[in-house]
C-alpha cells in the first residue's frame, strides 16, 4: 500500500505525464479511502487552473496599478531609441 | 511600426507579465528591455495594438526561456536535499499527513480578480528556490512540457518531476498561509 507521501508525489507527477494504468488505479483506490489526499488533490487541481491563466489572455484579473518605475521606463525608452537610431543609420 | 511608442503603449503590461515570472523587479525590467530590443530586430508591421501586444508578449516568453537556459545549471544533490524539507514538514516518518490541510473557502481562479491575492501570489512565486522557480514558471505558468524542460534545465525527467512536486507544495503552503487560511468566513 502506498503512503500518502508517495501518493502526493504521484498525483503531482500525473500533472506532468501519463502514469501507467496500474499506478493510476492504485491512486484511485487510495483516494477512495483517504479524505486528506482528496482535499490535497482538490487544492492542487484548483491551483493548476489558476496558474494556467495567470498573466495570460484568460486571466480574470490584472493589477493595472503596477507600472514600470519612472527611471526604469526612461532607461528602457532611451535604450530602445538608441537601438532604433542605430538601425536606421545602418540601413542608409 | 513605431518602436518609440512601444514603451508607453506596452511597457507596463509587459512589466506586469515579467514580474509574475522572474525573481525580482530588476530581472523583470531587464526582461522587458530585452523584449523591446529583440522586437526591433523583428521588424514586423502590425495592424492593431492588440496584435502588437500579443506579438511582444510572445517575444517576452522566448526571452524568458533564454534567461532560464542561461542561468540554469544541473540540479545538484544539495539542491534536491534542500527541498526535501517541504515534504518532511508535511508527512511523518510513516509517510502519513501530519495534519489535514485546511479547506479553502475561496477558489484560486476567482481570487486572481483580487489585487491583494495577486501580490501574495507574486511574492510566493518569487520566494521559490532557484531551480524550482524556473521549473515551476515554465511548466505551470507557461505550459511547456516535460521533454522541453528536461532539455532547457538539463535535468532528468525523474528529477524534474520531483522538483515540480516540491515547488507546487511550497507554493501551496505559501498561498495557504498568506491568503486562504486568513479568509475564514466568520460564523
Question: What is the full DSSP assignment across B91-135?
Answer: B-TTS-BSSPPPPPSS-HHHHTT-HHHHHHHHHHHHTSPTTHHHH
pLDDT value, residue B45: 64
pTM, to two decimals = 0.91
pLDDT for the residue numbered B73: 61
pLDDT attached to residue B187 = 42
This complex has an ipTM of 0.91
pLDDT band at B76 (very low <50, low <70, confident <90, very high): low
The reply to whether B146 touches chain A by the CB within 8 Å rule is: yes
pLDDT band at B44 (very low <50, low <70, confident <90, very high): low
Residue B74 has pLDDT above 60, yes or no: no
> Measuring CA to CA, which residue among B61, B174, B108, B116 is closest to residue A54?
B108
Interval B127-178: pLDDT, tens: 999 889 999 999 999 999 999 999 998 899 999 999 999 999 999 999 999 9
**C-alpha separations of A66 from A30, B141, B178 in Å:** 44, 19, 20
Distance (Å) from the C-alpha of residue A90 to the closest C-alpha of chain B?
13
> What's the CA dihedral at B29, B134, B152, A72 to 10 degrees?
0
pLDDT at B124 over 90: yes
CB-based contact A79 B4, cutoff 8 Å: no
Rounded to an integer, the average pLDDT of B38-61 is 82
> What pLDDT does B51 receive?
86
Q: Which is more confident, B78 or B3? A: B3
Answer yes or no: do A12 and B165 touch at CB < 8 A: yes
Q: State residue B46's pLDDT score.
A: 65
| B133 in A contact zone (CB under 8 Å) | no
Contact A84 B4 (CB under 8 A): yes
Q: Which of B32, B23, B30, B85 is nearest to B57 (CA)?
A: B32
Nearest CA in chain A to B115: A63
User: Which triple of cell numbers denotes residue A33?
Assistant: 479511502
Chain B neighbors of A15, CB-CB under 8 A: 164
pLDDT band for position B79 (50/70/90)? confident
Higher pLDDT, B141 or B23: B141
Pairwise CB contact (< 8 Å): B162 & A6: no
B9 at A interface, C-beta within 8 A = no
Hey, are the CB atoms on A80 and B104 less than 8 Å from each other? no
Q: Out of A43, A51, A63, whose CB is closest to B101?
A: A43
Look up residue B9 and give its three cell numbers: 503603449
- Interface contact B108-A36, CB threshold 8 A: no
User: Mean of the pLDDT values across residues B89-111?
Assistant: 95
Query: Is B4 close to A77, i.e. CB distance below 8 A?
Result: yes
Residues of chain A with pLDDT under 50: none
Mean pLDDT over the full length of chain B: 90
Tell me which chain A residue has its CA closest to the CA of residue B114.
A61
pLDDT value at B186 more than 50: no
Counting Cα atoms < 13 Å in the Cβ hemisphere of A74 gives 3
Amino acid at each position: 500500500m502506498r503512503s500518502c507521501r508517495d501518493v502526493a508525489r504521484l498525483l503531482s507527477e500525473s500533472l506532468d505525464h501519463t502514469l501507467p494504468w496500474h499506478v493510476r488505479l492504485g491512486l484511485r483506490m487510495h483516494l477512495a479511502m483517504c479524505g486528506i489526499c482528496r482535499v490535497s488533490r482538490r487544492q492542487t487541481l484548483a491551483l493548476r487552473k489558476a496558474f494556467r491563466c495567470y498573466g495570460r489572455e484568460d486571466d480574470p484579473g490584472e493589477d493595472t496599478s503596477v507600472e514600470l518605475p519612472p527611471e526604469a521606463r526612461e532607461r528602457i525608452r532611451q535604450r530602445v531609441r538608441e537601438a532604433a537610431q542605430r538601425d536606421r543609420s545602418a540601413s542608409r | 511600426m513605431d518602436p518609440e511608442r512601444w514603451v508607453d503603449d506596452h511597457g507596463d503590461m509587459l512589466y506586469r507579465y515579467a514580474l509574475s515570472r522572474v525573481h525580482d523587479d530588476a530581472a523583470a525590467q531587464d526582461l522587458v528591455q530585452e523584449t523591446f530590443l529583440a522586437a526591433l530586430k523583428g521588424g514586423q508591421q502590425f495592424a492593431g495594438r492588440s496584435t502588437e501586444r500579443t506579438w511582444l508578449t510572445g517575444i517576452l516568453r522566448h526571452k524568458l526561456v533564454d534567461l532560464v537556459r542561461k542561468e540554469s545549471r544541473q540540479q545538484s544533490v544539495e539542491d534536491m536535499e534542500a527541498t526535501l524539507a517541504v515534504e518532511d514538514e508535511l508527512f511523518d516518518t510513516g509517510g502519513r499527513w501530519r495534519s489535514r490541510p485546511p479547506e479553502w473557502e475561496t477558489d484560486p481562479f476567482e481570487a486572481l480578480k483580487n489585487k491583494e491575492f495577486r501580490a501574495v501570489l507574486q511574492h510566493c512565486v518569487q520566494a521559490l528556490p532557484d531551480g524550482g522557480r524556473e521549473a515551476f514558471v515554465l511548466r505551470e505558468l507557461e505550459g511547456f512540457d516535460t521533454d522541453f524542460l528536461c532539455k532547457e534545465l538539463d535535468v532528468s525527467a525523474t528529477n524534474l518531476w520531483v522538483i515540480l512536486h516540491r515547488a507546487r507544495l511550497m507554493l501551496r503552503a505559501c498561498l495557504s498561509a498568506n491568503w486562504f487560511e486568513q479568509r475564514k468566513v466568520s460564523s
